[in-house]
Amino acid sequence: LSQARTAAAITALLGGGGAPAPKAIENTGAEAVVIAPQRLVMAEFALPSATAPESLAGRRFLVVGDGEELVARLVDLGAEVTRDPAATVDGVFHLDRSTALPEAFPLFRALLANGPRHLVVVGSGEGLRGFTRSAAREYPDTAVKVVEFDGEVRVDALVAELGATDGEPVVRITGAGRVGLRMVETDLGLLGSSGAGPAGDGAAEALAIGLDRDSVVLLVGGAKGITARFAATVASASRCRIELLGRTALPTEDEPPAIAAAADPAALRAALIASGLRVPAEIEREIGRIEAVREVRDTVRRLTELGSAVRYHSVDMRDVEAVHRAVKEIHTEHGRLDGVVYAAGVIEDKLIAEKTAESFGRVFATKVDGAKTLLEAVDGLPNGPRFAVFFGSIAAVLGNRGQSDYAAANDALESLARRCSYRALTVHWGPWAPTGVNNGMVTPELMRSYAKRGIKLIDPEEGALSLLRELAWGPEALDSVVYTASGW
């Protein structure tokens, strides 16, 4: 998964008219397998008991936060205890629940850089599971874990974690002992696995969800990538009204003829240079803007062709007032809002040691703060939606080198889903295959890598239908699920 991208980044672009369609992926000589995704849920399992060392003589520990009882226990076992975060130590216990991610990232980065044998973080704050899972992959010589307690923190259980050998990055301490979490394949029964309608096109699922031509579904980040593919499935199955929110600003004028004739980045680059642009960074930014605009327009066109009334709103999810205004306008226009799909996000992959606090905060805030803003706007409506879906990432449940921020952000979505008064679900996606009209984030090189490593990709049509089936036949109490084509 070190090179894999997730739902917000592995694009499955839609075809359409307008500017020339991008070239299809060339035959690389090694094709990744594309299949329907597996459905997995996180399930608890018993971990072996952990026993505290009989003596900690000669070992030094850092305790961060209110942990006087823990300090006393460590000293009783012969350890030296410091409160200096810059000290070189054998282990760190972080008990400061007043500092959460992303603010705590600089401290965690510094602590890991010192190379402790243990980093034990206490608490269940937003994103901690995803962060520690990723940190454990980046620092294999450090036993990185988050420990969650059902009730009060037990010092004896914390110290015992120093003797644990299972390597689990997420440990819950319950009355029954130590508990871990793992993915377990679980189907939805006959209807969920095969669909309810004879056509298998999702129409029966849309009906079961309550979506018809009068329904209104809002998709954030829904004009691009795999969210656009899901929007197309919803449109085809229900013909409902679709409202799209995205960062891309759409110009009112058409592309100049020379630009419109350029079908791929290389042709665009040549056309832009011919137009007078010379600075490489400016050229690349303009290529990105043009391709984003084309994708949004193609998505709107395709959804309209499928029978849905579609509107696109250019909104920065970091602009709280703009988000509230857009949601209110949509509800005022239609008098209802039946469903919300949130898939906004950015990726700035770097190892923890190389990651800046600003970058971590940006990735985290774009995903988490944007979702919070959307939910606040929805909660202010006279009548709320029937469901909300958050597009997460398999990186959140397994961790991923270079994606500590993205894993943390997608993990945090689960806590937001649990707070909703209506049905809310976080879907952690594995990588999707491109549709064949654009490489997206799955480049030919990455496709070859997937094929060599035996990594399978989610079939776009089956991926979109799997979510419709989940909403139609899945248990409403479930707040997170994983869909992936490979076990990683």
Sequence-separated (6 or more) residues with CB below 8 Å from residue 12? 225, 226, 228, 229, 432, 433, 434, 435, 440, 460, 463
- Is 211 in a helix, a strand, or coil? coil
Same domain, yes or no, for 79 and 115?
Answer: yes
The answer as to whether 204 is a domain residue is: yes
Distance separating alpha carbons of residues 362 and 31, to the nearest angstrom: 35
Same domain, yes or no, for 229 and 328?
Answer: yes
Same domain, yes or no, for 151 and 246?
Answer: no
Show the domain range for 69.
48-167
429-475: per-residue pLDDT in tens?
998 887 654 344 455 566 667 778 788 899 999 999 999 999 999 99
260-318: per-residue pLDDT in tens?
999 999 999 999 999 999 999 999 999 999 999 999 999 999 999 999 999 999 999 98
Same domain, yes or no, for 323 and 421?
Answer: yes
What is the pLDDT at residue 20? 38
Same domain, yes or no, for 66 and 84?
Answer: yes
| pLDDT (mean) for 399-428 | 96
Q: How far is CA 101 from CA 106, 124, 203, in A?
A: 10, 11, 41
Going by DSSP bridges, is the β-strand pair 241-246/143-149 parallel, antiparallel, or unpaired?
unpaired
What is the pLDDT at residue 447? 65
What is the pLDDT at residue 29? 47
What is the pLDDT at residue 108? 98
Q: Which helix (H) or strand (E) holds 464?
A: helix 460-473
pTM of the model: 0.89
Same domain, yes or no, for 401 and 433?
Answer: yes
What is the pLDDT at residue 195? 56
The answer as to whether 20 is a domain residue is: no
Task: Give the CATH number, domain containing residue 191.
Answer: 3.40.50.720
The percent of residues in the chain predicted with pLDDT above 90, rounded, is 82
Number of domain units in the chain: 2
Same domain, yes or no, for 84 and 159?
Answer: yes
Same domain, yes or no, for 443 and 409?
Answer: yes
Helix ranges, 276-401 (H) = 280-305, 320-334, 357-379, 394-398
| pLDDT (mean) for 400-428 | 96
Model confidence at 189, in pLDDT bands (50, 70, 90)? confident
Same domain, yes or no, for 38 and 63?
Answer: no
The answer as to whether 64 is a domain residue is: yes
